[in-house]
């Protein structure tokens, strides 16, 4: 069904110019402003909630993984497996495993997806802190917590932040697919647009989500820069 609708959409669109589509898209932005805002808000939640929870899980887990081999291997492996499953498949999988459709299964699927970049960067960021710095820190009498707080976290933070950025931008894209399992968000315009063969509706989902990804990337890039300790920049 999806392939069919795509084919017909492409066939239709091939007959129009992109500028015509854009004009129709802007009209739609005007007439359906409320819908757009609601979908945008839903989309932001589809990103913020899974990424927020992923941060809360992945950073402590990443830290534990640097401390205990028994955590490192299963955690990093599970996260990579989660990442390997194609995103649409992962979303669809929520239905047969009994989570049904709607926002909640979408959040869960996206969360599974969001964890890996943050977990991996937390682990490599902390494990990558120079061994001699850790030796010096311990040799001066820091406890493990003090070393984490005063040395490892400040030095690893830009890398962890890069992981959060990667994860967030990636989830903005993946969240578009959440509409297929009734998760709402900007993807719902695209799904409907594909069904009705309305290019302006497709653009109503595609353009804002693309812009959202670009702006988020820019802003988080600035944050990354901002959390980089000054001593590493000079």
- When binding is defined by CB under 8 A, the residue of 22, 44, 64, 142 that contacts other proteins is 142
What contacts 216, CB < 8 A, 6 or more positions away? 47, 168, 169, 172
The distance of closest approach from Cβ of residue 151 to other proteins in the complex, given in angstroms and rounded to an integer, is 6
Residue 230 sits in the site that holds other proteins (CB under 8 A): yes
- CB of 158 or CB of 163, closer to other proteins: 158
- CB of 69 or CB of 230, closer to other proteins: 230
Distance of CA 108 to the CA centre of its chain: 12
Q: Which residue blocks in 86-198 are alpha helix, DSSP H?
A: 87-93, 103-127, 131-139, 144-147, 153-174, 187-196
Quote the CA–CA distance of 41 and 52 in Å, as a whole number. Answer: 16
- CB of 99 or CB of 223, closer to other proteins: 223
- When binding is defined by CB under 8 A, the residue of 92, 101, 138, 223 that contacts other proteins is 138
Residue 234 sits in the site that holds other proteins (CB under 8 A): yes
Burial of 13 (0-12, 13-18, 19+ CB in 10 A): middle
- CB of 124 or CB of 146, closer to other proteins: 146
- CB of 130 or CB of 225, closer to other proteins: 130
- When binding is defined by CB under 8 A, the residue of 155, 159, 164, 172 that contacts other proteins is 155
- When binding is defined by CB under 8 A, the residue of 10, 136, 196, 219 that contacts other proteins is 136
Residue 133 sits in the site that holds other proteins (CB under 8 A): yes
Burial of 134 (0-12, 13-18, 19+ CB in 10 A): middle
CA dihedral 38, 184, 43, 88 (to 10 degrees): -160
Number of shown-chain residues binding other proteins (CB under 8 A): 22
Residue 141 sits in the site that holds other proteins (CB under 8 A): yes
């Amino acid at each position: 069904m999806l392939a069919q609708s795509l084919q017909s959409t492409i066939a239709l669109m091939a007959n129009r110019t992109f500028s015509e589509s854009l004009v129709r898209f802007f009209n739609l932005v005007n007439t359906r402003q409320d819908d757009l805002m609601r979908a945008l808000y839903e989309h932001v939640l589809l990103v913020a909630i899974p990424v927020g929870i992923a941060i809360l899980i992945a950073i402590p887990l990443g830290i534990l993984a640097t401390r205990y081999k028994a955590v490192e291997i299963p955690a990093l492996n599970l996260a990579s497996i989660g990442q390997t499953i194609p995103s649409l498949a992962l979303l669809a999988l929520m239905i047969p495993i009994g989570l049904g459709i709607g926002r909640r299964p979408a959040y869960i699927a996206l969360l599974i997806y969001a964890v890996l970049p943050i977990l991996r960067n937390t682990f490599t960021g902390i494990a990558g802190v120079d061994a001699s710095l850790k030796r010096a820190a311990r040799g001066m009498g820091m406890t493990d917590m003090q070393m984490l707080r005063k040395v490892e976290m400040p030095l690893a933070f830009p890398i962890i932040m890069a992981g959060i950025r990667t994860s967030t931008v990636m989830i903005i894209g993946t969240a578009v697919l959440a509409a297929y399992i009734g998760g709402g968000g900007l993807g719902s315009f695209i799904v409907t647009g594909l069904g009705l063969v309305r290019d302006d509706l497709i653009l109503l989902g595609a353009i804002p989500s693309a812009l959202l990804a670009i702006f988020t990337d820019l802003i988080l890039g600035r944050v990354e820069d901002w959390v980089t300790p000054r001593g590493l920049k000079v």
